[in-house]
Structure 1
């Protein structure tokens, strides 16, 4: 496990109030594989809160990713849904939990919110 991934998981509880809305309610098990070893993270999500542990356990959904791909996800260099669609990672269970969890990942470097771009353009038109 990389130090960046450790810091990412440690920061989840403090970021949850701003990231998680009302649909996230359940447990997501994240399995990160590297060589011949798999590390497990259990992320219990509720609206506005997250609890993280290094366990396997009963989960409403399971997401498997390589540790290398996960490092790219936490830097914005890769996108979670695209990785699943390309079979670079696998997911089973309650898809709402995966969609909610991906909101913790940053946007790709250099991207801008199209709403903000439109607001700036509208301000220049006045």
Structure 2
């Protein structure tokens, strides 16, 4: 597993209070394959909390992804829904769990919050 992926999973619990604000809950198993072996990551989400563990446990949803693709996801170089549409990953189960989890994934490095762009535009037009 790459360092970026390890760091991503290590930071999930600390980031959960700001990411998981709404009434969302569920368990997501992320199966990461490098071609020869598959690692199973379990993310249990509840409002304001996330627990991460490893193992092939039962989950509400399963996301299968290659290590290279997942590294691009956790570094913001690609988007989760785009990876699904391009068949770079597959997902089965409760889609609400996926929608909640993808909020942990970063935006592309050059992306700016549209509210901040609007504030700057308002300052320029005064």
Looking at structure 1, the residues matched to 105 and 94 of structure 2 have their Cα atoms a distance apart, in angstroms, of 19
Q: Does 1:111 align with 2:76?
A: no
Tell me the equivalent position of 1:71. 71
TM-score by length of 1: 0.96
> How do 1:1-126 residues align onto structure 2 when only pairs under 5 Å count?
1-126=1-126
Query: Which stretches of structure 1, 4 residues or more, deviate above 3 A after TM superposition?
Result: none
What's the RMSD between the two structures over aligned residues? 0.9
Q: Aligned to 2:16, what secondary structure does the other structure show?
A: helix
Looking at structure 2, the residues matched to 62 and 24 of structure 1 have their Cα atoms a distance apart, in angstroms, of 17
TM-score by length of 2: 0.96
8 Å contact 1:29–1:63 — kept in the other structure?
yes
Structure 2 unaligned residues grouped into runs of 5+: none
Shift of 1:21: 2.3
Shift of 1:87: 0.8
Looking at structure 1, the residues matched to 85 and 24 of structure 2 have their Cα atoms a distance apart, in angstroms, of 21
Shift of 1:23: 3.8
Alignment size in residue pairs? 126
Shift of 1:55: 1.4
